[in-house]
Amino acid sequence: MSLAEAAAAIVAAGRRMDRMGWVPATAGNLSVRLGPGDVAITRSGGHKGFLAAADVIRVDLAGRPLDPGTKPSYETLLHCGIYRRFADAGAVLHGHSVAATVLSRRAGDAIRLAGYELLKAFPGGPTHDAATDLPVLDNDQDIPRLQAALEARWDAAPDAPPGYVIRGHGVYVWGSGMDQAMARLEALEFMLLCHLEEGRHTR
């Protein structure tokens, strides 16, 4: 994929996520794999609902900018960790929804999602009669340490879903391309919102 094509996909996804209320202020970041060793990702500090092609920059798989004078988000390293770990990951989306933030603050080390029709958006969920444990990681400003914690979780549970939540922070989801990543994000956010609503009405 060319940088221009990746930027167009990222701009469109950012506007979609903004309309849904998942990237308030300058929250979130979005990326697309360009090739074996480089990634297109939103630059630091931009509002995702008002992105332009110039707001998308290139980095290598260690998170280093490939274009002079550009500054990626520090969380770029988490995107790169996904691309290094999962060869089939072609796009990564990170948002900060109310449901993900509130539920992760209450959760243990996972949020169990069960019986939802939209579990079919994830591997291993051909019907609604399924369950998955969405990993929850403690927030940490030391991104390499957070990435190491993620790697340990993935090693322990290789069948974990293609997504996780950072406690009190937001969700990461990935797919083979932007369309699949967005479908998974929408499915996950719907299930998290249902989970949050159920909790409100059963207290």
Residues annotated within a binding site for Zn(2+): 94, 96
Please report, as a single letter, which amino acid is at residue 85.
Answer: R
How many CB atoms are located within 10 Å of the residue 149 CB? Answer: 15
Q: Provide the strand spans (E) within the chain.
A: 29-33, 38-42, 56-60, 91-95, 110-114, 131-137, 163-166, 170-175
In the 8-state DSSP scheme, what is residue 157? -
Residue 8 to residue 119: CA distance in whole angstroms:
28
DSSP H or E stretch at residue 182: helix 178-201
Residues annotated within a binding site: 94, 96
